[in-house]
Amino acid sequence: MGGLLSDAHWGVLLILLPLFGGLCSFLWPGAVKFIGLATVSAVALSVVGLGDQLLTTGVYHHAVGGWGAPLGIDLYADGLSLFMLMVNALVGLGVSIYALDYFDQGEARRFWPLWLLLLGGLNALFLSADIFNLYVTLEIVGLAGVGLASLSRSGAALDGAMRYLMATLLGSLCYLLGVALLYHSAGTVDIPLLAERLESTPPVWAALGLICAGLALKTALFPLHFWLPKAHASASAPVSALLSALVVKASFYILLRLWLEIFSVRTEGVDDLLGALGMAAIIWGSLQALQQTRLKLMIAYSTVSQMGYLFLVFPLAAAGAFSAWSAVAYLILSHALAKSSMFLVAGNLMHFGGHDRIADLDRAVQRLPITVGAFALAGVSIMGLPPSGGFIGKWLLLNEALNQGRWDLVIVMMIGGVLAAAYIFKVLGFAFTQAPVTHEPKGVPAIMEWSALLLAVAAIVLGFLASPLMLILGIGETVQLMGAGQ
């Protein structure tokens, strides 16, 4: 049994299962919820299997169809890939359970095939080892994401989805042109081979610029975030959760991966530019979040500011430190859990009161204690208060900034934390007070309340799991090597 488990091709399963499940849910719309939940659970089990395999035998490597690197497609998984797959599985499970009760049968028939396609694309993205395959998976993720964003078919949702589509296609095209130039310079698209062969020439600089710009647009880095608030706020709640928690992280992961393995030694000034934009994103996103009167828009702007923290890693890591990279991985996971929980909470409140105006939350805390509790717990992680995953991530990042004497970063992170506290307490404050207008409240299904709470609790529990998670990140030593090698 043990032999069977460690020999199984978990990486292949992780891609095939959701694609097959998506196909089945398209063919048998009657059983769509059952097929969907079964597939997502099977994917979560496969991530556990892959994790077990990686811990015992090191990095996973598979040449699809036996072709091998230059001609065929290689699957590759190390600690960082496994970590991202875990984020997928955890958030995916939480949101899938929520979606069981959120969508009626008609909407569910459209939601599940697209969500499983998105999951397959994300898994494939985290398992890819060449930059062209990353482009293809990026497009699968982008197109599935746009489909999901337009799911509710309201004018606002279609408008948001259209903006999202334009931005995501432009980002992918910039990335693809960068790939073309890199291929021209090095004659390969394989990431390890590229790392060996690339030299500092003008085409490589152009490629670096194009790839960074394209991925920054897809990750909604300030000032390229213009499409995100509308697209994320106008989609239905589970979709917003998936887009904000998983999809923006996918393009950031590519940037991180390319940076770690290819570009790290050839980046005159680009790292500082990304860091400066990250700082601007933290401040601007938080200020915008504070001004919003709609809960979902507030949460979407909060995503803009939280993505800013991730970009602070580039200037810090230039001096080389394992803790900066692991801090970012930690922030990705904790933000994914906390933000998905917040969007699900917003879905509950909308279901309950029929609106998401922050000022009219009208004693939600008494009537939906579990939901508001979930929002508060997720807020603790977003603000970065101990004990939570967000705290560990921000603490590691802050520590690194202090060690390197980057006071500008320290101050911006502090201000960002205070502003986050301000917008989260604003919501909680209105949840306690009575609004002038009274609504006809509608009951919220228990599953929807509890799944939001579970995700928020997971974001808190992360604060106690630092050492096992660091162990996972160390597999394959991509992160460690780059840290030590500078």
Q: Residues interacting with another protein, by CB under 8 A?
A: 70-71, 132, 136, 139, 143, 146-147, 150, 153-155, 158-159, 161-163, 165-166, 169-170, 173, 176-177, 179-181, 183-184, 187, 189, 230, 293-294, 357
Distances, alpha carbon 54 to alpha carbons 90, 294, 470, 474, in Å? 18, 44, 14, 11
- Taking Cα atoms as reference points, which of 482, 481, 477 lies closest to residue 265? 482
Beta carbon nearer to another protein, 50 or 131: 131
Distance CA 265, CA 262 (A): 8
Shortest distance, position 231 Cβ to another protein, whole Å: 12
Beta carbon nearer to another protein, 40 or 165: 165
Distance CA 60, CA 14 (A): 13
Is-contact 364 482, C-beta < 8 A?
no
Copy the structure tokens of residue 45.
Answer: 């089990």
Shortest distance, position 188 Cβ to another protein, whole Å: 9
- Taking Cα atoms as reference points, which of 185, 174, 175 lies closest to residue 266? 185
Burial 57-80 (b: 16+ CB within 10 A, else e): eebbebeeeeeebeeebbbbbbbb
Distance CA 121, CA 116 (A): 9
Shortest distance, position 140 Cβ to another protein, whole Å: 9
Beta carbon nearer to another protein, 233 or 328: 233
Q: Which residue has the tokens 């949702």?
A: 157
Shortest distance, position 62 Cβ to another protein, whole Å: 20
Distance CA 262, CA 335 (A): 26
Distance CA 383, CA 335 (A): 10
Shortest distance, position 98 Cβ to another protein, whole Å: 26
- Taking Cα atoms as reference points, which of 257, 197, 15 lies closest to residue 117? 15
The DSSP bridge partners found for residue 294 are: 357
Distance CA 253, CA 424 (A): 27
Distance CA 173, CA 90 (A): 31
Shortest distance, position 407 Cβ to another protein, whole Å: 37
Distance CA 135, CA 144 (A): 14
Pairing state between β 74-77 and 60-63? antiparallel
Beta carbon nearer to another protein, 158 or 421: 158
Beta carbon nearer to another protein, 9 or 426: 426
The DSSP bridge partners found for residue 130 are: 190
Beta carbon nearer to another protein, 30 or 155: 155
Beta carbon nearer to another protein, 26 or 183: 183
Shortest distance, position 471 Cβ to another protein, whole Å: 37
- Taking Cα atoms as reference points, which of 335, 344, 332 lies closest to residue 373? 344
Shortest distance, position 219 Cβ to another protein, whole Å: 19
Distance CA 286, CA 307 (A): 11
Shortest distance, position 14 Cβ to another protein, whole Å: 21
Beta carbon nearer to another protein, 122 or 327: 122
Beta carbon nearer to another protein, 70 or 405: 70
Beta carbon nearer to another protein, 182 or 281: 182
Is-contact 198 262, C-beta < 8 A?
yes
Shortest distance, position 181 Cβ to another protein, whole Å: 8
